[in-house]
Amino acid sequence: MKGRHPDDHRHPPPRAVIFDLDGTLVEPILDFDAMRIEIGLRPGLPILEQLDEGDDALRARAEVVMRRHELEAIAQATLSDGCLHLLDHLAARKIPVAILTRNIREVVDAFIRKFALDFVAAYTREDGPPKPSPVGVLHLCHRLGAAPADTLTVGDYKFDIIAGLRAGCRTALVAPTPPEDLADWGPPHIVVRSLRDLIPLFI
């Protein structure tokens, strides 16, 4: 582990964990550039935020495109490095886990069926404000029965970290190569190359 947050002093092990899905629990497959082109959005900018500026017709068309891409991606998905090891480790210690994603619930359900995994709860873009809003994090903390300060949020993108920090959680960024703008929106409490690198937090 590297890149500890300046406020991350010897905390006790987290009592709950909230995971991002794409790029965190599964290897990244989604082609966001292709989705933006097909929907007719500006390149390089987050899709959901652009759709907030559009009309109902654009959002309806976009949902059809995104759903197709997301379901195709999860059908081809493979678990990320260390995912099963970490989830098994958490299950053995009875530490509850949840999923926070900007995806749709149908994709989360398909993921859980595909890999026969068990999560206490999930929060999707259909449930309320998406990341980087902290609303989903706080909702899941309640479902997990853990205070935000006792919960670890894990993701591969800045929205995951921002949402966790805004909610008052500890945060872990999974990034083989940390982004250059890390200090601008974080920093996360921990930066790791793989989910397996989080196991020592729970020993």
Q: 10 Å Cβ neighbour count for 130? A: 22
Instruction: Check whether 5 has a pLDDT greater than 50.
Output: no
The vertex-136 CA angle with 164 and 203, nearest 5°, equals 50
Q: Read off the pLDDT of each residue in 157-183 and give the average, rounded to a whole number.
A: 93
Q: Is 60 exceeded by the pLDDT of residue 119?
A: yes
DSSP tag of 67 = H
What integer pLDDT is reported at residue 3 of this predicted model? Answer: 45
Report phi then psi at 44, rounded to 5: 80, -5
1, pLDDT greater than 70: no
Mean pLDDT of the chain: 92
Domains and CATH numbers, the chain: 16-28+78-202 (3.40.50.1000), 32-76 (no CATH)
Q: What is the pLDDT of residues 62-115, one digit of tens each?
A: 999 999 999 999 999 999 999 999 999 999 999 999 999 999 999 999 999 999
- pTM value is 0.90
